[in-house]
Structure 1
C-alpha cells in the first residue's frame, strides 16, 4: 500500500481510454470550441462528510495540474492505430489548468465544478473521481480493509475457476471475456494495480483488458473503451444540430473520426427505445456492437437482438457489452442467457476495484456534463436515480421530443 503522502495521480495516462477517444473525436470535429460545465455529484450519502476532504482534494488537483505527458506515454498513444498524430501532438503541449476547476465545501458536501473549453476540462473527470475516492478510502483502517478486499477477490477468482469448464466447452461458440472498468471508483491506485495483476495471473483466459490506459501500457493489456454519455449529450447543445437528431449527429461524427475502429455505441442517453429508433441499418452495419449501462440488461439485450433481426443482420457478428453494476456472478448469468446468440463482453467496475464489504462502502460518485454552450444537457436513464439534469424545463422538453415518460 502506498504512503498517504504520495499523490493519487502520477501520470496523465491514469484515466479511462474513452476520455481520450471522446476527446479526440471532439477535437477533430467542427464542435471543438464548445464551452461546458461538469459537476461532481455524490449519489448516495457517504459514511463521512466529503467536505472534510476539501483541502486534500485541492492539493491533489494542483499536483494533477502540474503533470504533462511524457515521451514514452505519447509514443504509446501513437502506437494505438486509432489515435491521430495531430491529436497526440496537441497532447504533447497539454496541461490541465487549475483556473478551470472550483473546489469548495458546502456544509457536509464537497462541491466540485469545472467550467471552460470542453476540449480542456473534459479530462478532469476520471482524475477527480479517483482522487476523491482514494482520499475517502484512506480514512479507513488500511490493513483491515485490504485483508477483506483480498478475501473477496479470492472468492471471485474461485467463482471464475469453477465456471472455467463450462466456459471452455462453449469457447468456440461464445467465449466469455471480461474487462476492468474500475478506475473511477477504485479504492486506491495500488489496490487497482494489485487487482489487475492478480486477474492476469489467475484467470488470463477470461481477463482481457482494462479501461485504465496507464495499466494497459504497463502490463501489456488491451486498453478498452469507446464513448460515454458526455459525448452524445454534447450534441444536444451544438450548433446546427436539431435536438431530435443529436444521437445521429454524434454517431456520424464518431464514424467520421474512427472509420470503423472503436465500434461499440452507448445506447442509454435517452433510453434504449429512443436509441434504436435512430440506430438504422447503416449504423447497425458500421458499429461492431452496443454497450448497456442502465435498465434491465436482459430486456436490453433482447431488444438489441430483435433490432438486429429486424434489420436482417446476424447478431452473432455483433457484440453486446454489459457495464452496469456488474458482479462476476451477474456477468456469468448474462453470458449464459446470450451465449451463442451474440458476442458478449463484460466491463466490471466497482465490484473489482472497490469491494471491501459493508464496513468499507464505496462512494457512489460521478462527475457529469450538465451544460454545453450555455444550454442544459441531460441523460434520460433507463434506471431510476441515474437521470441527470439541472434544468427541469429542458428535461421535460427532451422527454417530449423522444416520447419518454417521466
Structure 2
C-alpha cells in the first residue's frame, strides 16, 4: 500500500487555527461529522472501502515530527501550549468508521471535537487520490501540464494590462480535492516560481513548510456552526463565534466567513465593532458580485474606508472568474482569490464534489444555510426550519 498522507502537517491551515481556538475555549465538545459525495462518480466510491480503511489505519499511526512542530511554533498566532498538545496527539481509529450503502461510501466520525475535527481534510484527499489512481496517470499529468501552462501564460499576459488600485493575489486552496500529491507539488512550485507577483500562498501547511510559501487560512463553517450548540442564544451564535475568535487571535487571522446562515444574516451581526476588528470577509456561496456589493455597502454604511479591507473569494473559482471579479472590485477594495479544484485537479477528468461536514455538536443538530442551492447541509429538517425562521433565510 502506497500511503496517501505524507505528514500530519498536510492539512489546511484553518484546521490548525480552528483547532487551537476550540481547544482553548471549548475543549470538552462532542461532535459528529459525515462524509458526502454531491455528484455521481464514474465508478462507485464503495469500491474504495478497503483501501480507505488501510489509509486511515496508516493515518492513525502517525505523529508530528519535531521539525514540523518547530515550524508551527514559528507561526506567531500558534501558541506554545497548542503545539505541546500536538506533540502528543494521535488520531484515534475508534472515532472514525467506514461503511457502504449500495454504491455510496459512508464515513462517519464521532467523539471529542479536538480529536475528530482534524480527520476532515485527510479523509477528503485520501478518497480523492485513491479514486483517481484508477485512471491513466500519465495522460492526466500531460493534460494537466498543458492546462497549467495555459494558466501561467494567461497570468503573464494579464500582467501587461493596466494596473488597478489594488494588486491581484492568488492562493492555492486545492488540497482536499487534488489529483495527487505529486501533481499538487508541481502546480504549487511552478506558480511560486513563474508568477510570484500573483501567487501569494497555499492552504497546505506541509507545502508552506517544505517550499517556503506563505500559509493561508482562517476559519471554516464548522467553527461558526459549533457555536449553534454552545449554549448561547441561537440568534447570537455568530457574534459569540466572532468574539471568541477576536479574543483568541488579537488581530491576527482577520478574515471572517460570512455564509453559515447567509450573507444578510451575517451582516446584521457584523456591526462596527467587528467590522473594525476584522480585516475582511470570505465568500463561499451565492452570487459573488452581489455578495461583494453587499459587503461594500455595509462598510460604507459604517463609514469604514473599504480600501483598508479585503474580500476573499473561494467558491468554485477558476482563473477566468477570479480575474473578472478582480476587475469588478479591485479599484474599491483589496481582493484575494483562493482557487482549489481548478488548480490542483484540472487534468481533463470529471472531478468529485466531496465534503465532510459537522452535523452534530454536544448532542444537538447544527446546520449551514448556504446562499447556493445544494450546499445547505443538515441531518435534522426540524432544526433547519427553525434556523431559517430565526435568521429569515429563504427555503
Q: TM-score w.r.t. structure 1 length?
A: 0.96
Give the secondary-structure state (helix, strand or coil) at the position aligned to 2:84: helix
The reply to whether residue 386 of structure 1 matches residue 375 of structure 2 is yes
Structure-2 separation of matches of 1:122 and 1:234: 11
Look up the match of 1:191: 183
Aligned counterpart for 1:16 among listed residues 2, 12, 15: 12
Look up the match of 1:175: 167
Give the secondary-structure state (helix, strand or coil) at the position aligned to 2:61: coil
Look up the match of 1:267: 258
Specify every segment of 5 or more residues in structure 1 that has no aligned partner in the other structure, as ranges: none
Structure-1 separation of matches of 2:233 and 2:28: 18
Between the two proteins, the alignment pairs up a number of residues equal to: 395
Give the secondary-structure state (helix, strand or coil) at the position aligned to 1:368: strand
* Cα deviation code 1:145-167 (max 9, x no counterpart): 11111111111111111101126
Aligned counterpart for 1:58 among listed residues 53, 57, 60: 53
* Cα deviation code 1:119-163 (max 9, x no counterpart): 110000000000000000001011111111111111111111110
Structure-2 separation of matches of 1:106 and 1:158: 45
Look up the match of 1:343: 334
Measured after TM superposition, the shift of residue 362 of structure 1 is: 1.1
Measured after TM superposition, the shift of residue 6 of structure 1 is: 2.2
* Cα deviation code 1:214-260 (max 9, x no counterpart): 00001111100000000000000112x01000000000010110000
Look up the match of 1:304: 295
Give the secondary-structure state (helix, strand or coil) at the position aligned to 2:240: helix
Aligned counterpart for 1:362 among listed residues 325, 341, 351: 351
Look up the match of 1:372: 361
Equivalent positions of 1:195-214 (< 5 A) are 195-214=187-206
Equivalent positions of 1:2-401 (< 5 A) are 5-29=1-25, 31-166=26-161, 169-170=163-164, 173-239=165-231, 241-357=232-348, 360-401=349-390
4+ residue segments displaced more than 4 Å: none
Structure-2 separation of matches of 1:61 and 1:184: 15
Structure-1 separation of matches of 2:59 and 2:239: 35
CA RMSD of aligned residues (A): 0.7
Specify every segment of 5 or more residues in structure 2 that has no aligned partner in the other structure, as ranges: none
